[in-house]
Amino acid sequence: MTRLSVNVNKIATLRNSRGGNMPDLVQVAKDCEAFGAQGITVHPRPDERHIRYADVPLLKEVVTTEFNIEGYPNRSFLDLVLANRPTQCTLVPDEPGVLTSDQGWDTRKHHDLLSDVVSELQAAGIRVSLFVDAEEHFVQGAKAVGADRIEFYTGHYAREFGENPAKAVASHVKCGQLANAIGIGINAGHDLNLKNLSYYCSSVPQVLEVSIGHALICDALYFGLQNVIQMYLRQLAQ
């Protein structure tokens, strides 16, 4: 079954809006695991508007499942990752100040940068995933730089799902088959939710892990965090 990693950025955003430590990010991460989440994801950005760099070592101490740190590989981010040695580091091509990740790497254009960073992280025992759009040349480029996994950007899929699910997922199906054939693992994330998640994972059965934050936390406002994590796990089990 595809594993569920809960992105806790939105919890940090809520905490930061009032200062102090409510909600307690570390406790929420522990609770997510207790409620069934199979991983915790964070995406610290340079402005620290949600996850702060200081949160990362605190989470590293308590996360007992898979710890995934996402971000753009500038030197400060890489130093943070290397100091805390997560299970996985997901590299994203975000420019400073971007609201949310909205595109994947051009793995051919950035071959040299990505190759160097992938090697540095892998030398520290960290699995490396590259955030990519579902296009075959980007998948092949990720393999060429030595990445362990790719994470398909599913924002386009989510936007097109309501009109034509089969068309929306078609490029992901094709690229999932390619990735599997060339021996690179597959993750997925961005705008996956209770309506479109099961269809996506049944269409792209090679997906090992999904990272979900915004939609899951929004659903938790209505159903409660414990219930929502179980609801997402049931979608992945279908």
Look over the chain and give the mean of its residue pLDDT values, rounded to a whole number: 96
Secondary structure (DSSP) of 37-78: -SEEEE---TT-SSS-TTHHHHHHHH--SEEEEEE---HHHH
Rg of the Cα atoms in the chain: 17
Out of 33, 66, 70, 151, pick the active-site residue: 70
Q: Whole-angstrom Cα distance, residue 165 to residue 143?
A: 28
Q: Could you tell me the residue ranges of all domains in the chain?
A: 3-237
Tokens of 148: 């362990």
Q: Is 50 a catalytic residue?
A: no
Which residue blocks in the chain are alpha helix, DSSP H? 9-18, 25-34, 55-62, 75-84, 111-123, 136-144, 155-160, 165-182, 197-203, 214-223, 225-237
CA 16 to chain centre: 21
Report whether 194 contacts 166 (CB < 8 A).
no
Q: What is the DSSP letter of 132?
A: E
pLDDT for 139 equals 98
Question: For residue 4, which of 184, 193, 221, 174 has the smallest C-alpha distance?
Answer: 193
Pair of tokens at residue 53: 């760099």
Residue 54: burial class (beta carbons within 10 Å; 0-12, 13-18, 19+): exposed
What integer pLDDT is reported at residue 179 of this predicted model? 98
Residue 70 catalytic?
Answer: yes
Sorted by sequence, the CB contacts under 8 Å of residue 101 that are 6+ apart come out as 43, 70, 92, 93, 94, 131, 153, 190
How far apart, in whole angstroms, are the C-alpha atoms of residue 192 and residue 214?
A: 9
Tokens standing for residue 23: 């909600």
Going residue by residue through the chain, which has 238 residues, state the pLDDT in tens, using 9 for 90 and above: 899 999 999 999 999 999 999 999 999 999 999 999 999 999 999 899 999 999 999 999 999 999 999 999 999 999 999 999 999 999 999 766 665 656 799 999 999 999 999 999 999 999 999 999 999 999 999 999 999 999 999 999 999 999 999 999 999 999 999 999 999 999 999 999 999 999 999 999 999 999 999 999 999 999 999 999 999 999 999 8
Q: What is the DSSP letter of 23?
A: S
pLDDT confidence of residue 136: 98
Tokens representing 167? 């068309």
**Residue 32 near residue 9 (C-beta atoms within 8 A):** no
Question: Which is the catalytic residue, given 33, 43, 50, 209?
Answer: 43
CATH architecture type of domain 3-237: Alpha-Beta Barrel (3.20)
Q: Of 50, 156, 172, 190, which one is the catalytic site residue?
A: 190
